[in-house]
Amino acid sequence: MRILTGIQPSGKLHLGNYFGAMKPAIELGSKGDAFIFIAQYHALTTVHDAAALRQATLDVALDFLACGLDPERICLFRQGDVPEVHELAWFLSVVTPMGLLERCHSYKDKLARGIPASHGLFAYPVLMAADILAYTSDVVPVGRDQKQHVEVTRDIAAKFNQTFGEEVFRLPEPMISESVAVIPGLDGQKMSKSYNNTLELFAPIKELKAKIMRIATDSTPLEDPKNPDTCRVFALYSLFATDEERAAMRANYLGGNYGYGTAKKALLEIYERTFEPFRRRREELLGNLDYVEQVLRRGGEKARAEAVKTLDRARRAAGIV
C-alpha cells in the first residue's frame, strides 16, 4: 500500500502539526510504503520571502527527523526536487472544471482570512492532485476538514482517465484518523499559525512556559470542582498523557482544591519530558546538516523515479511524444 502525505513549510511547526500530522505520518512507516513531502510550492501561495522559505524547509526536515522519522522506512523529500509534478499539474488542469475549483473550501477560507486572491491559490487543488497522483498513492492521510482535497483529486483523475480513454491514474482513498481530534490553541480555536495561538515544538522553555501560563481558563474558585472536558489545559495535557496520567488529572479536576495554575505546570512538565529527547536529537542534526541534505536528496530521487513513470503514462495518453 502506497501512502502519501505532505506538510507546508510556512512557519515554525507547532503542537497541532505534531499531533495532527507529524506523529501520525511518522507512524506510517509500519503501515505501508510511505512518502512524505515538504510542500514548498504550496507554501509559495503565502510565503514570498526566499530566505524564510529555505529556512522553513530545512526546519521541517529537521523536526521530522528529530521526532523519530526513519528515512530507511519513509521517503522524505522536497516537492521542489520533483519537477515532473508541475508538468503533470498542467495535464490535470486541462480537464479540471472551473466549477470544481470554485467549490473548494480552502480557497474561500483563505480569502476570508485576508490572503490575496491569486491563480496559485485558486489552482492549489490541481497541484495537490498532481502531488498525490504522481506517486500512484493508494491512500492519503488527512483531517476530516481536508477530506475534500482527496475527493477533488479523485474527480480530476477520473476525468483525465475518461477524457483520454486510459486508466492512467489510480484513484486514491482518504485515510481519516478518528483518534486525532482538533488540537485546541491557546485561545480555544483550532491551533494554527493563522490565529497566532500555537505552542511551537522546539521553542525555548521560557517561551513555552510563558505561553502555557497565559492559557485562558474560567473563573471557577480553587476549592470547587472543575470540568476537565471544557478546559483546554486538560485537552492539551491529554495529548501527552498515558491513560493513568489522564485519569489522575481528571480526578484532580473533579475533586476540587486543584488550581488551573497547577494544571498548567503539569502540562509544561509533561511537554518538556516528551520533547527533551527530540530536542537533543535536533541539536545533533543541526551539527550534521550534510546528513539531512543526503536524506532529502535520496528521498527526492526515489520520489522522482515514481513521478517520471506516471508522467510518461500521462504524456502517452494525451498524445505528447
- Catalytic-residue membership of 209: no
Residue 190: count other Cβ atoms within 10 Å of its Cβ. Answer: 16
Alpha carbons 156 and 206: distance in angstroms, whole number: 48
Residue 75: burial class (beta carbons within 10 Å; 0-12, 13-18, 19+): buried
Query: pTM (2 decimals)?
Result: 0.91
Helix, strand or coil, per DSSP, at residue 278: helix
Question: pLDDT per position in the chain (321 positions), as tens?
Answer: 999 999 999 889 999 889 988 898 888 888 889 999 999 999 998 899 999 999 999 999 999 999 999 999 999 999 999 999 999 999 999 999 999 998 887 777 777 777 788 898 899 999 999 999 999 999 998 877 778 889 999 999 999 999 999 999 999 999 876 655 578 898 888 888 878 899 999 999 999 999 999 998 999 999 999 999 999 999 999 999 999 999 999 999 999 999 999 999 999 999 999 999 999 999 999 999 999 999 999 999 999 999 999 999 999 999 998
User: How many residues can be counted in the chain?
Assistant: 321
User: How far is 252 from 228, CA to CA, in rounded Å?
Assistant: 9
Quote the CA–CA distance of 270 and 59 in Å, as a whole number.
23
Q: Which of 12, 190, 211, 265 is catalytic?
A: 190
- Max CA separation in the chain (angstroms): 77
Q: Cell triple for residue 305?
A: 523515479
CB 241 within 8 A of CB 249: yes
Active site residue 110: yes
Q: Which domains does the chain have, with CATH numbers?
A: 2-182+289-318 (3.40.50.620), 193-283 (1.10.240.10)
Annotated active-site residue 265? The verdict is no
Cα–Cα distance between 60 and 181 in angstroms, integer?
Answer: 22
From residue 231, alpha-carbon distances to 5, 240, 253 in Å are 31, 15, 10
- Torsion of Cα atoms, 141 then 144 then 148 then 149, to 10°: -30
**Separation CA 58–CA 68 (nearest Å):** 16
